[in-house]
A and B are shown apart, each in its own frame.
Chain A
Amino acid sequence: MPHSVRFVSNEIQETPLADLHVKLGAKMIPFAGWNMPVQYTSIINEHTAVREKVGIFDISHMGQFFLEGEGAEQWLNTLLSNDVAKLGVGEGQYTMMLNENGGVIDDLIIYREAEGRIFLVVNASMIDQDYAWLEKHLAEGLILSNESNAWAGMAVQGPEASAAFKTLFPERELPPRNGMEKWTQDNESLIVCRTGYTGEDGFEFFSPAESGSKWFQSFVDKGAEPCGLGARDSLRLEVCYPLNGSDLSPSRTPLEAGLGFFCALEKGDFIGRDSLLKQKEEGLKERLVALKYTGKGAPPRAHYEVFSKEGERLSELTSGVLSPSLREGIALAYLPLSHAKLGTLVDIDVRGRKFEAEVVKKPFYKKA
């Protein structure tokens, strides 16, 4: 398979579902270079639909790469933080691509489709950079293809997601948690992955770009509420899933971000490992902590400043929202270890007013 050519352009891109979003009443906004639905009816409605029933998100803006060749797993293991060797065929894992300093280039999910064939799903804003990074290090004999434009993607999430799948595909079973399956039906390649970004059960479904709208509409017809990026952000933040570019960055390591679980330091060498080992030995200076308002207050948002109770500026929020499920202000921020202990009180500055928040255990929201 030839490497697909991707033209870099400053123009805002449309997913294959753009027309359908407008037809479904979406408000569209630019996000990571893409014109995306931020909401259809209301963020709270959509958020609640996912927590209580089922919602569907367009994730066609995300990137899809395929890596193929003998030894693909071993090579990839030198570029990613998690241990690819632990993946059986049909299994997926959350992992990170790090720079030499251990900073996060991107967080992604990889699935071992078959022996010597890996499916990678990367962040929309990082498609070109990730591809260039992998390509630069690519081992002889392996083929990396960027098929991002060929696929439409949608995340169907919520307690009723698997029932929606079952009605649409009565002959098929969803793969187990984190699993992946690819099959051909009516001459179309389809992929389903039991993963998501909401903290609910659900799956991510990929079809050829041209039939994306048909599939999205089919899930909507089965009861899935169309959901935009607004609800996607509030849902992921309630369960403390990081957002690359906000909570993760090339100058922060997974250890600082609390993602050490996804760094297999013992597996052998990978890019960034030495820096992580060194950081581990020297000890962390800051950690990404979960902050929750102790009372009512103006919604916390990214970039609001965080102060100690003594009035010292500590840092700024990397994410924040008034949690639709908890009805409380929740946020993430990198804080010095002196202020990162559970129960520590800090103040969040919102337009000059201070609202008290407490360092709490992650995640904010847990299924009852």
Chain B
Amino acid sequence: MNIPENLRYTSDHEWILLEGDIATVGITDHAQEELTDVVFVELPDEGRSCDAADPVAVVESVKAASDIYCPIAGEIVSGNVDLEADPSLVNTSPYESGWIFKVKVNDVADVEALMDAAAYQDLIG
């Protein structure tokens, strides 16, 4: 299972990459494996402000729709429009081309408080 060291994680199986005050968010390798066959991603509206744990995006497999939560409070900067053409990027490249949205965070300390790779590894066992 691929769990990059440089990312932060949530118990909802999202990863967060912080660069300055911009956090890029996607779902983990473990999550994409559980979902399999991502066929549609509903992206959040740009400029929308959100609190931590707000559902902002939806990742859908053939069988089910799963909410994706905003891991930290902030404002949505952009969504990954490449996923509109090829939602399976979430499966094939969960940590890179398959990122889902970027959020300008209110407080970078919120990101640092999230799980690190070791803690996430413990969570999924």
Contact = CB atoms under 8 A, between A and B. Distances in A.
Contacts of B51: none
A43 B63 contact: yes
Contacts of A39: 36, 63
B39, B58, B60 — most chain A CB neighbours (10 Å): B39
A228 to B, nearest CB: 9
Contacts of A298: 40, 42, 58, 60, 65
B59 to A, nearest CB: 11
Contacts of B65: 298-299, 301
Interface string A205-232: 0000000000000000000000000100
Contacts of A351: 42, 58
A346 B40 CA distance: 21
Contacts, number: 40
Nearest to B64: A301
Interface string B51-78: 0000000101111010000000000000
Contact of A234 (B36, B58, B60, B62): B62
A293 to B, nearest CB: 11
A54 interface: no
B62 A44 contact: yes
Nearest to A297: B40
B62 A322 contact: yes
Contacts of A278: none
A308 interface: no
B84 A299 contact: no
A324 B40 CA distance: 12
B40 A321 contact: no
Given A298-B40, A298-B42, A322-B39, A43 B58 contact: no
B36 A43 contact: yes
A351 B40 CA distance: 14
B85 to A, nearest CB: 9
B63 A296 contact: no
A38 interface: yes
A294 interface: no
Contacts of B62: 43-44, 47, 230, 234, 299, 321-322, 324
A104 to B, nearest CB: 25
A297 B65 CA distance: 13
B36 A42 contact: yes
B27 to A, nearest CB: 16
Interface in A261-317: 296-299, 301
Contacts of B63: 38-39, 43, 230
Contacts of B42: 298, 351, 353
Interface in B65-119: 65, 84
A298 B42 CA distance: 7
22 contacts: A38-B63, A39-B36, A41-B36, A42-B37, A43-B36, A43-B62, A44-B37, A230-B62, A230-B63, A234-B62, A298-B40, A298-B42, A298-B65, A299-B39, A299-B40, A299-B60, A299-B62, A299-B65, A322-B39, A322-B40, A324-B62, A351-B42
Interface of B: 36-37, 39-40, 42, 58, 60-63, 65, 84
